[in-house]
């Protein structure tokens, strides 16, 4: 581009290629192209086509403002006029029409590891005959309280922060309130499509909504086996917490879980999961080094004489969790440079087992690099406990 061009002088922060979604939008929007518009103005799009491009850009802008590289693990959705057409408290369950394509779409996201949260202003949903499978939600908040507060409670229950959440709601007031109170939540646009004559959200629009959620926020969902285990593991979490009530002490409870772990050294088959954990994990992360798949591949290529990458797969009597912890040891300097564990595995002494295993394998106790952040206080608490001696309730299986 010539340096004296008007575009260079304008110096835009962002340039959007309006043709980038022509293929997909032309399949989603009837009459996306308009030969008459092309003949009259040189613009190949119909009015509906232009609106679809504007809507698509709105999603892209939402994704960028929320942090294009940020990791989203949770989809929080409204119920009335979102999961179904109609209002439960006003129209009654018999009058509701399920948004089948949207419900199918978010159920598929759940199978790929996206956690679903239901936020609805209603007296209750279970047992009302409302057309939705409540069981596919990891947690629900159905009451008349403000949704930002409900979402904070749901995040605490899931042991995740609000910056992991994408929020979908047809009500502009609810979207504005969520954006104002929890700006770290990705509040996505809604609508832009014409309603059916009966007021329902058209099925093509429902499929488009799912496609945009997947493309802009959950593109890496289902990448690893751990993704597919995640939703089931959060369901198991509820059963674990219920079981906790049956025991007088924490040690008795942990012993009852039948905790088991498979320690090994990382292989090429672990690269996707390692990169995923490096990019996502904040709370139990010693240095928050955001290594990529290629970075881990280079570490493995260096050989065990330079770096050793230990991985730990865990489970208990309630279910399997997959690879939930890794430790990178710099052999020459005798330092642990990376110590990362999924929040799903916290609170059951896996970190103690992992460190003790590394000490046995290395023949010495490496020092641990630690870079404090505003989110990794759990790791700092673990470090303070190391000097008091390590205790673990895990039993090793199939040590490789």
The string of pLDDT tens digits covering residues 124-137 is: 987 788 999 998 99
pTM above 0.75, yes or no: yes
Q: Where are the domains of the chain?
A: 15-65, 69-222, 250-396
Confidence at residue 67, expressed as pLDDT on a 0 to 100 scale: 62
Which uninterrupted H or E stretch holds 165? Answer: strand 165-168
For residue 69, pLDDT over 50 is answered with no
Q: How far apart are CA 257 and CA 243, in angstroms?
A: 9
For residue 4, pLDDT over 70 is answered with no
* pLDDT averaged over every residue in the chain: 90
3-class state of residue 387 by DSSP: coil
Pick the CATH number of 250-396 from 3.40.50.300, 3.40.630.30, 1.10.10.10, 3.30.465.10: 3.40.630.30
Cβ atoms of 255 and 342 within 8 Å: the answer is no
Fold match between domain 69-222 and domain 250-396: no
- Region 342-357: mean pLDDT is 94
Average the pLDDT over each of 141-145, 154-158, 291-295 and give the range with the smallest value: 154-158
Q: How confident is the model at residue 234 (pLDDT cuts 50, 70, 90)?
A: confident
For residue 226, pLDDT over 70 is answered with yes
Q: How far apart are CA 216 and CA 193, in angstroms?
A: 19
The fold adopted by the segment(s) 69-222 is Rossmann fold (3.40.50)
pLDDT digits (tens, 9 = 90+) for 18-41: 898 999 999 998 899 999 999 988
Q: How far apart are CA 54 and CA 50, in angstroms?
A: 6
Counting residues of the chain whose pLDDT is more than 90, the rounded percentage is 68
């Amino acid at each position: 581009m010539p340096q004296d061009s008007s575009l260079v002088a304008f110096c835009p922060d962002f340039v959007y290629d309006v043709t980038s979604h022509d293929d997909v939008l032309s399949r989603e929007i009837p009459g996306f192209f308009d030969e008459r518009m092309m003949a009259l103005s040189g613009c190949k799009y119909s009015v509906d086509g232009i609106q679809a491009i504007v809507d698509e850009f709105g999603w892209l802008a939402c994704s960028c403002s929320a942090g294009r590289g940020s990791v989203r693990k949770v989809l929080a959705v409204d119920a009335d006029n979102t999961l179904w057409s109609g209002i439960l408290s006003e129209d009654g369950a018999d009058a509701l029409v399920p948004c089948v394509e949207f419900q199918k779409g978010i159920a598929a996201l759940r199978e790929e590891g996206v956690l679903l949260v239901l936020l609805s202003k209603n007296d209750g949903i279970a047992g009302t005959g409302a057309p939705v499978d409540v069981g596919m939600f990891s947690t629900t908040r159905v009451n008349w309280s403000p949704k930002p507060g409900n979402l904070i409670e749901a995040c605490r229950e899931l042991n995740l922060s609000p910056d992991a959440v994408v929020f979908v709601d047809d009500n502009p007031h609810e979207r504005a309130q969520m954006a104002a109170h929890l700006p770290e939540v990705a509040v996505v646009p809604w609508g832009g499509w014409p309603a059916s004559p009966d007021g329902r959200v058209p099925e093509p629009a429902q499929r488009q909504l799912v496609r945009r959620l997947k493309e802009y926020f959950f593109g890496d969902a289902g990448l690893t086996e751990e993704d597919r285990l995640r939703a089931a593991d959060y369901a198991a979490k509820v059963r674990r917490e219920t079981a906790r009530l049956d025991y007088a002490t924490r040690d008795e409870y942990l012993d009852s879980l039948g905790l088991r772990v498979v320690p090994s050294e990382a292989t090429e088959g672990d690269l996707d999961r390692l990169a995923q954990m490096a990019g996502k994990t904040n709370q139990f992360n010693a240095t928050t080094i955001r290594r990529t798949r290629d970075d881990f591949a280079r570490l493995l290529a260096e050989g065990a004489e330079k770096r050793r990458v230990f991985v730990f797969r865990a489970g208990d009597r309630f279910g399997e969790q997959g690879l939930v912890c890794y430790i990178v040891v710099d052999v020459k300097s005798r330092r642990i440079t990376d110590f990362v564990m999924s929040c799903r595995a916290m609170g059951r002494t896996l970190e103690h087992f992992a460190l003790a295993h590394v000490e046995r394998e290395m023949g010495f106790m490496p020092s641990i690099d630690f870079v404090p952040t505003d989110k990794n206080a759990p790791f700092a608490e673990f470090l303070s406990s190391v000097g008091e001696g390590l205790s673990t309730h895990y039993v090793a299986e199939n040590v490789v």
